[in-house]
Structure 1
Amino acid sequence: MENLMLIIRLRGSAGSPWFIEEALETLRLKRVFNAMVYPDSSSLRGMLIKVQPYVTWGEVSEEGLSNLLKRLKPKGKSMEEALKSLGASDLDSLRVSILEGKLAFHKLDEEFKLPLTLHPPRGGFKGSVKKPFKDEGEFGYRGQKINELLKRMV
């Protein structure tokens, strides 16, 4: 099982430099509260460091991934047809194949509408979106605690 990183955009683009916007578009996070899952790599980490004040990220758990998959919307066909074309019988088998690395979440866009849109967190943010997570803020790396935020946003 490889490490999967969940990335959620927290801030809008007003006043942000062009290279930040370009990196966010590469990560496919064009709007606030968009979320994507990518396999962990050094190039991904480099991009995350660049756009750190605009996103939060961490390792997604199995439960968090199954919560995310419930938000998938198929493109122009039923959910069953979309899952069959990927070789999955239901959302659980899709989750297992993503966790095992057989399917890449960010490459499911032929069958599903990506990126996923999330709600603002229930109960609001606990800190400021202008401070890093380690300083009691919201943006930046948060490790396993991304799953707690995700639970409030699904």
Structure 2
Amino acid sequence: MSEQQPEKNQDKNVAEKRIAVILVRGLVNVSGDIKSTLAMLRLVRKNHCVILRDTPENKGMVIKVKDYVTWGILDNATFKELVTKRGQEYRGRTTDSKKRYSYKTLDVDSKKYRPYFRLNPPQKGFGRKGIKVSFSAGGALGNREDKINNLIKRML
């Protein structure tokens, strides 16, 4: 049992990868299963962005809604710029009155921010083929890997 404890501590020390997920398409005529997954990801409007940890659970949810979102690995410089320009500081309570649930916030530089960001539509558009085609085919949807940073900078 004691051998497994140091492994957990080592995982915390390693810099976690962050995934930025942006809702590209609207939610009209979308199935209830997809809507509930988007609600769990806190994506409720077009051009909203959330920052997730790179875990198998989060990746599974993102892949489930791949026809409505674009995502990629976020670098630290873009993350700092996103928080400073579009972050809304959270001033509410952190747990409910019975201390059963804790509300999710982003902790950056000892300040708490809401876990989502409202962005503008990107300058020069999403892509040459529009928002219904995957990124690998020239559109906007799907995994962008490192190019998500460029898109976020155009949306700030």
Please give the range of the TM-score, normalised by the shorter of the 2 chains.
Answer: 0.7 to 0.9
Distance in 2 of aligned mates of 1:136 and 1:121: 16
The secondary structure found in structure 1 opposite 2:60 is helix
Distance in 1 of aligned mates of 2:113 and 2:74: 20
The secondary structure found in structure 2 opposite 1:53 is coil
- Number of the residue aligned with 2:144: 142
Conserved? CA contact 2:51–2:116, under 8 Å: no
Deviation at 1:107, TM superposition (A): 2.6
- Number of the residue aligned with 2:75: 61
Distance in 2 of aligned mates of 1:108 and 1:146: 20
The one-letter code of the counterpart of 2:31 is P
Alignment of 1:119 onto 2:120: yes
Structure having the higher strand fraction is: 2
The secondary structure found in structure 2 opposite 1:32 is coil
Distance in 1 of aligned mates of 2:63 and 2:114: 26
Q: Deviations over 1:68-95 (max 9, x none)?
A: 1111122459xxxxxxxxxxxxxxxxxx
- Number of the residue aligned with 1:74: 89
The one-letter code of the counterpart of 2:82 is L
Distance in 1 of aligned mates of 2:91 and 2:64: 35
Uncovered stretches (5+) of structure 1, i.e. residues with no partner: 78-105
Q: How does 1:25-36 map to 2 (within 5 A)?
A: 25-36=39-50
Conserved? CA contact 2:20–2:148, under 8 Å: yes
The one-letter code of the counterpart of 1:28 is R
Deviation at 1:108, TM superposition (A): 2.8
Q: Deviations over 1:21-48 (max 9, x none)?
A: 0000000000001111111011111111
Question: Please, what is the CA RMSD of the aligned residues?
Answer: 1.9
Deviation at 1:2, TM superposition (A): 1.4
Could you tell me the percent identity over the aligned residues?
33
Structure having the higher helix fraction is: 1
- Number of the residue aligned with 2:17: 3
Query: Which of structure 1's runs of 4+ aligned residues deviate more than 4 A?
Result: none
Q: What's the TM-score, normalizing by structure 1?
A: 0.76
Deviation at 1:60, TM superposition (A): 0.3
Q: Deviations over 1:41-62 (max 9, x none)?
A: 1111111111001110000011
Q: What's the TM-score, normalizing by structure 2?
A: 0.75
Conserved? CA contact 2:47–2:121, under 8 Å: yes
Q: Which has the larger radius of gyration?
A: 2
